[in-house]
Amino acid sequence: MAHHNSQDRIQALVDAFVQDLTSEIRNSAMESVAEAIGSLPTTTTKRRTTTTTRKGSNAPTRKRRGRGRAKRSSIDAPTLLKAIKKSKGERTEVIARDLGVNSKSFKPVLDELITSGAVVRKGKARGSTLHVK
């Protein structure tokens, strides 16, 4: 029974040590962050935006983000196969742009067409092109 009591006491000391150590580490980290923040310049710089002028006006306008991004929608196999046939060896990005979709949206369908042997991929990585067998 004395052995069990000493184990409990040792465990309590270990737990207290871990708690103290954790607290010291946390305090040290907070001090480091506070010092780093304190060393930042107090003046903030304004973020510049790319501007263009409207026709007949000197007032600047912001360029829209996301211009030219294709919509993401699913494409069925016959439509994709027809687009690949029409494109005559283009990359997936070009075919996606022609279809008005994101190339990621038809990747599962394309993988099925490649696995079935209806479409062949020639080249490596981004330089690969698609061809109908």
- Where is pLDDT greater, at 115 or 61? 115
Domain extents for the chain?
A: 1-37, 77-132
Three-state SS sequence of the chain: CHHHHHHHHHHHHHHHHHHHHHHHHHHHHHHHHHHHHHCCCCCCCCCCCCEEECCCCCCEEECCCCCCCCECCCCCHHHHHHHHHHHCCCCHHHHHHHHCECHHHHHHHHHHHHHHCCEEEECCHHHCEEEEC
pTM: 0.44
pLDDT of residue 64: 53
Task: Give CATH for domain 77-132.
Answer: 1.10.10.10
pLDDT of residue 124: 85
pLDDT digits (tens, 9 = 90+) for 56-112: 555 555 555 555 554 555 788 888 889 988 988 899 889 888 888 888 888 888 888
